[in-house]
Amino acid sequence: MSADAMLTVSDAMAYLQVSRWTLYNLIRSGELESVIVSRRCRRIPTSALSAYITRLREEAA
């Protein structure tokens, strides 16, 4: 993944293997960064996914 790439909500769900509900809860809680590109177009930077996974690994250690 490129650090500059942005994923759709569906792509991020598939990448993390979570439901839409779980993904939006992560976004609402601030655990996962997202941006709104246009009125109804939310994207998740791949760098935000990497940071989230890194935090999960550190907490598990």
Per-residue pLDDT tens over the stretch 4-33:
799 999 999 999 999 999 999 999 999 999
Cβ pair 33, 45 in contact under 8 A: yes
Per the structure, the complete domain to which residue 35 belongs is given by 6-60
d(C-alpha 34, C-alpha 9), whole Å: 9
Tell me, what's the pLDDT at 41? 92
- What distances in angstroms separate CA 48 from CA 14, 35, 59, 61, one per listed residue? 15, 10, 17, 20
Tell me, what's the pLDDT at 61? 85
Q: Quick check: is 1 in a domain?
A: no
Model pTM score: 0.85
Q: Quick check: is 27 in a domain?
A: yes
Q: Could you give the number of structural domains in the chain? A: 1
